Amino acid sequence: MNLGRIVGMVVATRKEPSVEGLKFQLVRYIDENGKETGAEVVAVDTVGAGPGEVVLVATGSSARQTVLTQNRPCDAVIMAIVDSWDVRGETKYRKTEER
Amino acid sequence: MNLGRIVGMVVATRKEPSVEGLKFQLVRYIDENGKETGAEVVAVDTVGAGPGEVVLVATGSSARQTVLTQNRPCDAVIMAIVDSWDVRGETKYRKTEER
Amino acid sequence: MNLGRIVGMVVATRKEPSVEGLKFQLVRYIDENGKETGAEVVAVDTVGAGPGEVVLVATGSSARQTVLTQNRPCDAVIMAIVDSWDVRGETKYRKTEER
Amino acid sequence: MNLGRIVGMVVATRKEPSVEGLKFQLVRYIDENGKETGAEVVAVDTVGAGPGEVVLVATGSSARQTVLTQNRPCDAVIMAIVDSWDVRGETKYRKTEER
Amino acid sequence: MNLGRIVGMVVATRKEPSVEGLKFQLVRYIDENGKETGAEVVAVDTVGAGPGEVVLVATGSSARQTVLTQNRPCDAVIMAIVDSWDVRGETKYRKTEER
């Protein structure tokens, strides 16, 4: 998984029928310091995450291991909203502080 | 998934029998500002997308989760035509504006 | 899939029994202008492609979706020989012109 | 697999129900000299690895081939704690020396 | 698949039970000229390859398509020992010459 921050949403009316109803979030990947890496991904939200939230993104076939995305042409999924993380004992991010 | 813009088509007469009839689109990846990243991919179209259209591309095994591509040696699929997206509340792309 | 040009062949006598008989082609990836990107891959040929030919390469689990490669430790397959492609209406490559 | 060093942990309360109870470790990838490559990954621990330990990380669908991660949206797993490795006969890392 | 050269071995006592007994080789990727690319991978040996040998490495789910690695958290496998390869008719590597 990789850390990312939701910065927007992608709207697509014409699409594969099986992805109907899925929410496509635009996610910027961030590193352990919360800094954006420059890479981004469009991921399906499965946990009700909103704009600005820091999340975990799983990609590849693992992105289909949820009830929402199973057997669908989806290769990136938001499977957790991050509360906090630490690096060598130092808290690098805590959700309530940042928002 | 990643954002991309269709810029051309690849024609291949001699191919694996199972990919017969599939349409191979040449897609340039774009970032959240609609700027080309320099990377490109040949993706099978499953939604009737045409040249110049902005699309979502799914890769890997997820590219085979459509009726057209199931059990076929296809690792990239266009599974949605993008109408619009926003970043931090600002609309970055809207289909009718651009074409 | 990605565009590539076959530049050589890899010979391996001692190998996993299940890949016995497969032809390992050395492929240089090319971009939409036919220019080599610097990346290369060893791919199993499933369409009878020869040296110098421009091909489409599928990677990952999709490389196993052919009769030849099914259930084998093969992560890259040549699944089409490219006749031509165009970018924004301009023909960038045509097979008979180049060879 | 790739070598990595555990440097922290990610806490996420709201998540896909199927990943409940999994431990998300923050891992920095290292090269054969033990030097960090700059890339990092959040991986599920399956072997009881702790902070500072050098581990092997498997990614993609292979990350789901453990009892803990099976059928879960998990794309990176710690599947071994590294004792040592050598390069051209020279020991480059030994666990007890470093900690 | 990609070309690589075995340069060492990784020892791990504490690991996922299912990978017990597997041999983890440290492989440096090489290009068509036999030059190291700077990337490396830890791959499970399935063909009895030894230090210094040039091999083919398959990654992803394809790394699990061998008797040794089936259903195991293994994402890279050595599935062939390379005898030789050529580029545009010129032999670039031959096993007996190099060792």
Q: Find how far residue D51's CA is from the centre of its chain.
A: 10
Tally the C-alpha atoms within 13 A of residue C22's C-alpha that lie toward its C-beta: 33
Chains that touch C (3 or more CB pairs under 8 A): B, E
Whole-angstrom distance, CA of residue A1 vs CA of residue E40: 21
Tell me the torsion sign for CA atoms C41, B10, B22, A23: positive
CA angle A14, A18, A19 (to 5 degrees): 60
Query: Contact B11/C85 with Cβ under 8 angstroms?
Result: yes
Each domain of chain A, given as residue ranges in start order, spans 2-98
Query: Contact E33/E92 with Cβ under 8 angstroms?
Result: yes
- Closest to D78 measured CA to CA, from D95, D91, D66: D66
- The model carries a pTM of 0.96
What number is the average pLDDT over the span E58-63? 98
Do β-strands A2-11 and A24-30 pair in parallel, antiparallel, or remain unpaired? antiparallel
Cβ pair D85:E18 closer than 8 A: no
DSSP secondary structure, B27-68, as one string:
EEEE-TTS-EEEEEEEEEESS---TT-EEEEEEGGGGG-STT
- CATH second-level architecture of B2-98? Beta Barrel (2.40)
Whole-angstrom distance, CA of residue B80 vs CA of residue D66: 33
Whole-angstrom distance, CA of residue A34 vs CA of residue A32: 5
What six digits make up the tokens of E20? 């017990």
ipTM of the predicted structure?
0.95
Q: What is the largest CA-CA distance in chain C?
A: 47
Whole-angstrom distance, CA of residue D12 vs CA of residue D15: 7
What six digits make up the tokens of E57? 């490495």
- Closest to A47 measured CA to CA, from A19, A66, A28: A66
What number is the average pLDDT over the span D37-56? 97
Residue window 39-58, chain E: list those with CB within 8 Å of chain C: 46-48, 56, 58
Instruction: Report the DSSP beta bridge partners of residue B81.
Output: A14, B55
What is the rounded radius of gyration, in angstroms, for the C-alpha atoms of chain E? 14
- Closest to A29 measured CA to CA, from A66, A54, A51, A60: A54
Q: Name chain C contacts of B63, Cβ cutoff 8 Å.
A: 62
Whole-angstrom distance, CA of residue C60 vs CA of residue C48: 21
- For residue D72, what are the CA distances in angstroms to A60, C27, D17, D77, E16? 12, 35, 9, 11, 17
pLDDT digits (tens, 9 = 90+) for E2-48: 999 999 999 999 999 999 999 999 999 999 999 999 999 999 999 99
Do β-strands B36-45 and B76-81 pair in parallel, antiparallel, or remain unpaired? parallel
Residue D83 pLDDT > 70: yes
Q: Name chain A contacts of D51, Cβ cutoff 8 Å.
A: 88-89
Whole-angstrom distance, CA of residue B37 vs CA of residue B70: 29
Q: How far is B15 from chain A (nearest CA, A)?
A: 23
Mean pLDDT, consecutive 10-residue stretches, chain C (99 aa), reads 98 96 98 98 97 98 97 98 98 79
- pLDDT by position in tens, chain B (length 99): 999 999 999 999 999 999 999 999 999 999 999 999 999 999 999 999 999 999 999 999 999 999 999 999 999 999 999 999 999 999 999 998 544
Nearest CB among D28, D42, D73 relative to A62 is that of D73
Nearest CB among E31, E80, E92 relative to C12 is that of E80
Task: Residue A97: count other Cβ atoms within 10 Å of its Cβ.
Answer: 8
Residue A7 pLDDT > 70: yes
Nearest CB among B14, B40, B75 relative to C58 is that of B75
